[in-house]
Structure 1
Amino acid sequence: MATASDIRLGTQADFMLRLRCQPQPELLEGAAAGFVGYQLDGEASDDGAFVRWSLQQGRFELSGDRLGLYPLYYCQMDSQLVISNSLALLAERFQLETDSEAVGLFLRLGFYLGSDTAFLGVKRAEGKLTVRLDDTGLTIESRRPEFKRMLQPFTAARYQQLFARALAKLRGCQLPLYVPLTGGKDSRHILLTACALGLPVKESYTTRVLSPHSNDDVTIARELCQRLEVPHRVLNSEQRLHNAEQQKNIRTSFETYDHFWINQVGQYMTQKTPGLVLDGFGGDVLSQSKVVTPQMHWCYQQGDWAALTALIAPMDPYFEAYFQARPEFLVPPQRLQARLQAELEKFAGEVIPVKSFYFWNRSRRAIAISSFRQLNGNSQAFFPYMQAELFDFLRALPEDLYFSQQFHASCIAQAFPEFADIPYASNKARGDALAGRRTLFNVLALMREITQADFIAAPMRLRALLSCLRSSTVKDSAVTFFYFFRPMIYLNQLRHLRTPKRQSLGQG
């Protein structure tokens, strides 16, 4: 059976490496060797979520995990190479220029495409990143694992077998195990399997959310933990919308619209004994997604790129109106379709190309990064659904199973029939209300953002200010207004992040 030797744990600290490439590798800034994240199955394996590097005898080598889960950003300028796990750290240190098209696409989609980031010349690895630098030159490679169709049976029993095997790698681990629990399938599957394996789960926790979202998660998670006799903690909803959004943007390297609400979780976890957070990332998009639809798959098979673009990035007239003052952030429809088509076609050989598109571009970048940099506090995020054998199985699921909307639920029900009576979240329990005092603070902060937002045309700015004021008088409207105007906070932060600078990349 698996033992603690199956997992290697590194640090979690932000880092930046700056190297001069010519005439020979010279480390100008950063540690000569390092390991960040976690690695499974020994030093020769690329399974896990990590980056490791070393500079020895004039040769620099860096490699990441097989899926590029661990966020890495790199850029070249003049004769220097800079690599970091924090885009904000790079932006604070160096003179970088906003990539208007990439940001414009992000504002429409909610995630970046390919290797794009918010800044020109700064790339995010699209898969496993490998960097080699010696006196013969520099090689940078970013590659996804090759897709292989499988002959094994795609059954619920096989799914559970592989899932249990992924979590069994933690047997013998002496660190505390934490499970963030929702009313969904991914985290429930983790908790039930961990308990069945006898893994010592120290605590599970659930975060309350604000209306218009639902708090079904709380009652469902509480009942599940009571039956399993696992300690459960309910965390208060995040009320400081503006502050939490700004912190989230920095921590997640401006890669996601989502997850400001888990700011409370990160703060809570910093108070806990460092351990492993068993994170359900990827379970939904790989096995039973609400985002990827049969209609999207049909459009892809028919080559109807216009229709598929409309499904992925529907038109928003309000969005178009508010950005008239800065048209560089309004990506023309033809360009939007061309970029989406080029990215979608990279997955033409897979069973469900749109599913893979969403995993590699949205899930891997805009969702996983919150687990690494916001949700886990001082603990290390661990992704059982990303374990190589299980990931490859889910990646190759046949169309009928994937679109049945039942495969993952059936797997859990068959493996744990005694818990089948506990429902999944159905959005019935109303979310929390924003406290009156917090409403005022948030509205004032948003009004300041509006006055600074040069991308909002003058007539629309007045309208936005009035709408912001009005939102403070109608129940739940302040939260809805905040969701609509998150791009404003995002762009204002990007602008302020770019100045002042200590140096340019070209300086030694």
Structure 2
Amino acid sequence: MTGSPPSSRISGNAEAQVRRVAVMPCAALAPVLHLRHGPAGVALSGAATARLGHRPTPPDTALGLHGGWDWDGRTLTAEVDALGYFSLFYYSKGSEIAVSASILQLLALGADAEPDPVALAVFHRIGHFLGEDTPFRHIKVLPPAGRLVWRDGVASVSGNLPIPREAGLSRSQAVEAFIEVPRAAIRRFLADWDGPVVLPLSGGRDSRHILLEMLHQGRKPDMAATFHQGGQILDREVQAARALTERGGVRHGLLGHPRRRLRDALRAMLLTQFCADEHAQMMPMHDYLSGTPGVAALDGIGGDILTNPDDSAADFFDRARQGDYDGIARRLVAGHGSVISRPGHPGGAGAIHSPDLEEAAIARIAEAIRAFDAAPDPYQAFWFWNRTRREIAFVSTGILGPAARVGCPFLSPEFVELGLSLPFAVTRDQRLHDDAIARAYPAFADIPYAEGFRNPPLPRLRWARMANLLDGLRVAAMAQPDRPIGAMRQLLSRQPLHRKPADIYRLHDHFVTTMTADEARRLIALEDRLRSKAPKGERVVTDVLGA
């Protein structure tokens, strides 16, 4: 690498330099290790040992996602949890190796920032990366059950991606299993954690299931929190969440202050290591937890894809059984493009940022789905091991990262195996999770999910809109200080994509294609500055109702 900080040449045991980090609120706090093998020995800089995330003993992905590394003076060993849902990145080129949970930290050390064109073309078309890819050719993420070993300048990486056989369960048996397996995982978490619990609560199935099971086990969360940016005008997500908490006697906090859109989008992009086009909407939860020390959070990640809520799933299942993986890939790309594009531009971000790589991206996506041909539902397995692992997992490790502990009941080994082994006939109607929740908690079965409520109209004239625009211009200039006027003009101009994705993909493309060690250090400082200035804890809460 070039631009590395001064390093010590060592042989034998490394100095006892250990970083134990339970949370990853920003790149500035992320440990990093860089090793270079040469004739005089190994040059080391950074933390020789790091423990990241939440690693219970014995390891249990329901109780925490984790990663870390150890350098003993001769051998570097780095590992992640069995699912690979904790993103631990490594840079390997020549006789060098570097590891960190922050891509920016690797780049700041001088890692080769050459972009990976096909990986980026995939990102432009479906909003996340596949397998172990990142935006940069020489930076990868460890695979599920990933283990990296580096000695004498040579690195090897191993992992395990299990594909369970189809289980012979009836619909009724599957419903019962979808009650009992999460029940056991939540029981383990509550037995392991006796401190306060904050439950992010939406109007959907996964967080509702966790809340009702906590009530069933006699352990109310200290607060259920719902993010919402409409002030006291409650949208349908909040209405559904509040109906549950009122009946359950649970304290419900509303994170309802208007947010600064571009500021949150930029922070989320940096927090997710340039690997996701989502999560800006969840920054209120991140800021609330950042100012609420000592609490645990329970995340419903995995519950949805393991119970088949996808309207395209039946078509994709049939296509997979015909071997039409190219057709699935094209439909995925078209679907994502239609969501983020304005009328008249169905091509999404790919048509703007990587138009010449359409077929290469399609082939890469089709290949990634085909890898799960032996699974009971190849599309479901692809989604779980790719989008959920490579994009949604940043909610657990990044958005909720400031929590003292983050539990993921639907990522318990038993539940993952159950969900991925179910016959598609059992999940085809998309009501498996609904039926399990209704059977387990009949006293709440009459409360609709978010889609059963109606969003009230918002006032046309809102000061928050003007304040948002002014802040967006300021943030655009901070993000691209080399061309602040042009950045502000782009923010104001009409784009082929809807405003939010247009800004995200434009900034993403700019950062990746112009990345240097100096730029990485600037972005680390910028992220830290934006984080420190954000309101936190109770300052994010607009309303609390209940016990």
Q: TM-score, normalised by structure 1?
A: 0.84
Q: 1:399–1:210: structure 2 CA closer, same or farther, 3 Å change rule? A: farther
Cα distance per residue 1:413-465 (max 9 Å; x no partner): 000000001100116214766623224325646986999999xxx9xx99985
Pairing partner for 1:171 from 173, 190, 194: 190
Task: Decide whether the 8 Å contact of 2:189 with 2:407 is kept in 1.
Answer: no
Residue 117 of structure 1 pairs with residue 134 of structure 2 = yes
Check conservation: 2:61, 2:411, Cα contact below 8 A. Answer: no
Instruction: Give 1:369's match in structure 2, choosing from 394, 397, 400.
Output: 394
Give yes or no for the alignment of 1:158 onto 2:174.
no
Residue of structure 1 in register with 2:297 after alignment? 277
Between the aligned partners of 1:277 and 1:128, the Cα distance in structure 2 is 24
Residue 186 of structure 2 aligns with an amino acid whose one-letter code is: L
The verdict on how the C-alpha distance between 1:364 and 1:453 changes in structure 2, with shifts beyond 3 A counting, is: farther
**Mapped contact 1:300–1:354 kept (Cα < 8 A):** yes
Q: CA deviation at 1:83?
A: 1.1
Q: Is contact 2:227-2:282 (8 Å) kept?
A: yes
Which residue of the other structure, out of 246, 249, 271, is the alignment partner of 1:226?
A: 246
Kept in 1: contact 2:198–2:295 (CA 8 A): yes
Residues 350 and 396, structure 1, Cα contact 8 Å, conserved in 2: yes
- Shift in alpha-carbon separation, 1:203–1:421, aligned structure 2, 3 A: same
C-alpha separation between the residues in 2 aligned to 1:69 and 1:321? 27
Change (3 A) 1:424 1:440: same
Offset, 1:190? 0.5
The amino acid of 1:440's aligned partner reads: L
Question: Is the CA contact (8 Å cut-off) linking 1:69 and 1:368 kept in structure 2?
Answer: yes
Q: Which letter maps to 2:68?
A: R
Residue in 1 aligned with 2:51? 35
1:199 to 207, 212, 219: 219
1:454-469 map, 5 Å: 465-467=492-494
Distance 2:90 2:160 in 1: 15
User: 2:34–2:44: 8 Å Cα contact kept in structure 1?
Assistant: yes
Q: Return the alpha-carbon distance in structure 1 between the equivalents of residues 156 and 102 of structure 2.
A: 22
TM-score (norm 2): 0.78
Please list, as runs of the form range in 1=range in 2, the aligned pairs for 1:288-303 lying within 5 A after superposition.
288-290=308-310, 292-303=312-323
Secondary structure at the counterpart of residue 39 of structure 1: coil
Q: Residue 480 and residue 334 in structure 1: after superposition, are their counterparts in 2 closer, same or farther (change >3 A)? A: closer
SS across alignment from 2:166: coil
Which deviates the most, 63-72 or 172-181?
A: 172-181
The whole-number CA distance in structure 2 between the counterparts of 1:155 and 1:421 is 22
- How far, CA to CA, are the matches of 1:385 and 1:177 in structure 2? 17
Within 1, Cα distance between the matches of 2:346 and 2:39? 49
Q: CA deviation at 1:264?
A: 1.3
One-letter code aligned to 1:12: V
- The verdict on how the C-alpha distance between 1:393 and 1:249 changes in structure 2, with shifts beyond 3 A counting, is same
- The letter for the 2-side match of 1:482 is K
Distance 1:288 1:323 in 2: 27
Structure ranking higher on relative contact order (CA contacts 8 Å, 6+ apart) = 2
User: What SS does the corresponding residue of 1:467 show, helix, strand or coil?
Assistant: coil
Distance across 2 between alignment mates of 1:488 and 1:219 = 35
Provide the rounded CA distance (Å) in 2 between the counterparts of 1:322 and 1:270. Answer: 32
Of 271, 284, 300, which aligns to 1:251? 271
The answer (yes or no) to whether the contact 2:118–2:360 under 8 Å persists in 1 is no
Give 3-state SS (helix, strand or coil) of 1:267's partner: helix
The match for 1:89 among 101, 105, 113 is 105
CA distance change for structure 1 residues 391 and 230 in 2, over 3 Å: closer, same or farther? same
Q: Deviations over 1:291-347 (max 9, x none)?
A: 5421111112112234322211016673759877x76x2253332221112111110
Which residue of the partner structure matches residue 379 of structure 1? 404
Q: Does 1:147 align with 2:164?
A: yes
Counterpart CA distance in 2 for 1:23 and 1:129 is: 29
Pairwise CA distance, 1:112? 0.8
2:413 aligned residue (388, 394, 400): 388
Change (3 A) 1:294 1:322: closer
Cα pair distance change 1:453/1:387, threshold 3 Å: farther
Task: Give the deviation of 1:57 after TM superposition.
Answer: 6.3
What residue identity is the alignment partner of 1:359? Answer: F
1-structure distance, mates of 2:347, 2:61: 47
Q: Which deviates the most, 133-142 or 307-316?
A: 133-142
Query: For residues 60 and 424 of structure 2, what CA distance do their matches in structure 1 show?
Result: 34
Q: Give the equivalent residue in structure 2 for 1:6.
A: none
Offset at 1:17? Answer: 1.7
Report the secondary structure of 2:162's partner residue. Answer: coil
CA distance in 2, matches of 1:45, 1:242: 33
SS of 2:253's partner is strand
Change in Cα spacing, 1:320 to 1:222, as seen in structure 2 (3 Å) is: closer
Query: In structure 1, what is the Cα distance between the partners aligned to 2:317 and 2:144?
Result: 23
- The Cα RMSD (Å) is 3.5
Residues 464 and 47 of structure 1, relative CA distance in 2, 3 Å threshold? closer
Work out the number of aligned pairs and report it. 478
Distance 1:486 1:158, change over 3 A: same
Structure 2 counterpart SS, 1:281 = coil
| Alpha-carbon displacement from aligned partner over 1:161-186 (angstroms, at most 9, x marks no partner) | 11110111123322221110000000
Matches of residues 313-324 of structure 1 in structure 2 within 5 Å?
313-314=333-334, 318=345
Q: 1:467 to 1:31 in 2, by over 3 A?
A: closer
Q: Match of 1:474?
A: none
Taking every aligned residue pair, what percent have the same amino acid on both sides?
23
**What's the counterpart of residue 19 of structure 1?**
35
The separation in 2 between residues aligned to 1:164 and 1:24, in whole angstroms, is 56
In structure 2, the CA distance between the partners of 1:376 and 1:78, relative to structure 1 (3 Å rule), is: closer
Distance 1:429 1:236 in 2: 15
Distance 2:392 2:357 in 1: 26
Give the aligned partner of residue 475 of structure 1. Answer: none
Gaps of 5+ in 1: 1-8, 472-478, 504-508
The 1:347–1:264 alpha-carbon spacing in structure 2 relative to 1, beyond 3 Å, is same
User: CA contact under 8 A between 2:119 and 2:361: conserved in structure 1?
Assistant: no
Asked if structure 2 preserves the Cα contact closer than 8 Å seen for 1:237 and 1:261, the reply is no
Question: Does the 8 A contact of 1:20 with 1:79 survive in 2?
Answer: yes
Say whether residues 1:488 and 2:520 are aligned partners: no
